Amino acid sequence: MPLDFIDLHCKPKKHNVMKKVIQLHQTTPEELVNVILLGVKKEIEILKKEFRPKEPEEYLTRTEVSKMLKIDLSTVHHWTKRGKLKPYGLGRRVYYKRSEIEQALIDLSPIH
């Protein structure tokens, strides 16, 4: 089922706007539909394999951070003051992004 995309014409319309016309030779409408559907299905399969939905950010309280890292609340306070942990606030409450807590952890394995 070969598709021959032969002619591409640009015809001037009002106000010098160009209109593109593609003429297909030796192709039935059904063949064109099948080729388009096949291409769309391939793209959908690629998206299914690669798509990772964005998960909403999880915010932790100081207590949750201390339990997560098995440290004292005073250590959370000191690490925040030193800039090791980045706090976020709403009113009088302080929160930390779980993703930033996990990124702050340092890999201690030796480099080979």
Does 109 map to a domain?
Answer: no
pLDDT tens digits, one per residue of 1-49: 455 554 445 555 555 666 676 677 788 888 889 989 999 999 999 998 8
Does 69 map to a domain?
Answer: yes
Same domain, 42 and 67: no
Same domain, 67 and 90: yes
What does the pLDDT read at residue 16? 60
CB 13 within 8 A of CB 21: no
Does 85 map to a domain?
Answer: yes
CB 96 within 8 A of CB 58: no
Does 45 map to a domain?
Answer: yes
Does 17 map to a domain?
Answer: yes
Does 112 map to a domain?
Answer: no
Closest to 1 (Cα-Cα) out of 22, 36, 28: 28
Q: pTM for the whole thing?
A: 0.51
Domain total in the chain: 2
pLDDT tens digits, one per residue of 88-103: 999 999 999 999 999 9
Q: What's the domain range around 68?
A: 59-104
CATH number at residue 96: 3.90.105
Does 30 map to a domain?
Answer: yes
